Structure 1
Amino acid sequence: MSSSSRGPGAGARRRRTRCRRCRACVRTECGDCHFCRDMKKFGGPGRMKQSCLLRQCTAPVLPHTAVCLLCGEAGKEDTVEGEEEKFSLSLMECTICNEIVHPGCLKMGKAEGVINSEIPNCWECPRCTQEGRTSKVKGGRERHLKKKPKPPIASAEGPAVPSPSPQREKLERFKRMCQLLERVPDTSSSSSDSDSDSDSSGTSLSEDEAPGEARNGRRPARGSSGEKENRGGRRAIRPGSGGPLLSWPLGPAPPPRPPQLERHVVRPPPRSPEPDTLPLAAGSDHPLPRAAWLRVFQHLGPRELCVCMRVCRTWSRWCYDKRLWPRMDLSRRKSLTPPMLSGVVRRQPRALDLSWTGVSKKQLMWLLNRLQGQTESRGRLQGVAELRLAGLELTDASLRLLLRHAPQLSALDLSHCAHVGDPSVHLLTAPTSPLRETLVHLNLAGCHRLTDHCLPLFRRCPRLRRLDLRSCRQLSPEACARLAAAGPPGPFRCPEEKLLLKDS
């Protein structure tokens, strides 16, 4: 019976599912591979629809809806105890014909099947093995199910030799080639070794190889039959005494390297300056200059500015001015897409709120690295001064990058960051930290890893005016009161418990 007559599912491969038990299945996403960066939870567009590279299941199993192609029933290996009975009642998928059957439902007699021990419920069915089909799975470990059949009895016409499969023939040829390569003597060895081997064999080169050696200008010595080379790049080796010479071509010589051309760095042309006037359809310019339009745009909110950017190209360029975007609020966004991050960089805000978003560490560092180096005409660096990162999974490594890429912060919000503790406060207030002299407002509310040992470290910040330590479980009110009484230069006042304020 052909596979097409067995049912509509014959020959169609079933998609396997996770085993949910291996080490890759139980771990979390890395957030760094190209599949994770594509996910919406990490700020990507979500087009690939692939799992993390580190979460690729090593032993995928058949889906629960898989049934036997012959009897139409699912796997019943849990109902028996013996190993052979369990195997005969379990579902097996052939890697060649993709048919899912019970091994007990196949009536192939003494035919031989091959199991793949690396993937569960995977084998080469006896029918494909008997027909000599090649497997699609390469490099997998195989185990024979039954004993090998006895060699066929030679008939009167001649011995009946079974035809091996093409894959096994290729494997045998590879094994013979490896054995020949192992017998090749080292080219740097002395000629006495090759002479002794050739004397013991008692044979010489054949007549077919002599012209090639003569053309090379080297006459073979009497009784030498080791390793010879000619201009064609071929070697002649005698694997055993009395055997014929075998020759094979070595790898082709590498092509000559092309001459190195002179390299030139090609950069895009600089952006054209923004127009100072608004051109009209009649060909003339609007009487109001660009500075007057910007003063009008300063009275608009973000939504109205986005509407104005769709009016014309000139207004679109004017509305990107960073004086119109002193603050940007992207809090509580499920994901941040690359166009959103590019829009933030183009607007260059002074205050940025990324609290409770799905921004990854790479996206945050990419963003901060492009918000710090904009130079004004007065020569003063214009970077982000207020940053809110509440609810993000920031570690000490992220804070080190934050100190390097945003050295001019005056207000920092790290509230409800689960990984912020005493070492994080030490990083922020260390002698090498640039934020030690610039921090004015610091919010660490809800950071449950903070203890009383970190409170004396805040005395290193002389400009600190507001310190929020509310909802920190391991901080005692008495220690906060002592810090408020001593404080950095001048005492603090406590309108609420664990909230320290200082009048400017």
Structure 2
Amino acid sequence: VHCGLDGWGQTPVVPLQKGPQRNESASSLMECSVCYEITHPACVQRLCPQFTGYMNEDMPNSWECPMCCKSGKNADYKPRHFRARQKSSDLRRMSISSDASSAFESKAQPDHMSGDSGSENEKDNKELVPIKKRRSSEGEIETKSQSGEAPRKQALRMQLAQQLTCNSTKALKKPMFVVRPAPLNMISPLPSSNIALDKRCILNVFRHLSPKDLFMCSLVCKTWAQFSIDPILWKRMDFAQKRISSEHLKGIVRRQPETLILDWAHINKYQLPWLIQRLTALRELSLVSVNVKSVISLRSCYCAQLQSLDVSFVSGFNDSALREILGPNNDSRRGLTDERVR
């Protein structure tokens, strides 16, 4: 700021005073979009009286100062903010020379002074820049002609659409179905001459192996690792006197047994409900000498349709605990309140 005053013509106060604003009007300080200098228009006008600045309608308190117009810096300037890609060429300013200074002065004159003496170059500029609004530093608004905006846009759109359709050799056709890759299980594998990779043959051999031997076979290759966890081989799983960990829970869920034995096993009240909810094929469950809190956690709407449940030697298990297991469902969500799911 050349004069040292703020946007309202007053001396700035440091620090800023808190409270209501001193002025409700807008600040008169302007920032040049080319050199980014903040000045008063009146102060710059005294330095360059023969040139005028142009307001930027896209941003408040933004203009092209007369200093940049005088030096020609705004000729190659590209604004930082675009409203549309096609407007980038419209926002360019032509270079300032000694011949162009008279054209700027003629634009700054009032409308009632303009007559038949208007130059043909000014008419050509109006046709080339149909959507540009410029305002001089004195506050006069200059609006370019907008009559040819809509027809020109429509013609460009039709031309672009015609080019796209002509360059394509394929006929446009709406797809009849959603294109997505097929799941792996739908791809039928080709018959292999290697009998070691035939699932039917390998499963017949794996049926006679112990769990320890199945684990050793799963380390041979990826194909055998998939064969070794087939539910046909794990219809009965025994974890008696074991401390159940997260790895045990993952292995049980992957194998989906029909009979699960957890006699004298260390399993808490959070692990058992998590396990039961994911064993849809479970039919027999043995919980001999398991903690009573873990047994009561069977009261869930997600429990499988058990045919056999052994709760022998459960410490603290009485009639109230049995009623707690067989009681109505404690889940009040819609569709889960039917007692027949027990």
Q: TM-score range by the shorter chain?
A: 0.3 to 0.5
Q: Output the TM-score relative to the length of structure 1.
A: 0.29
- Greater helix percent: which structure? 2
Higher radius of gyration, 1 or 2: 2
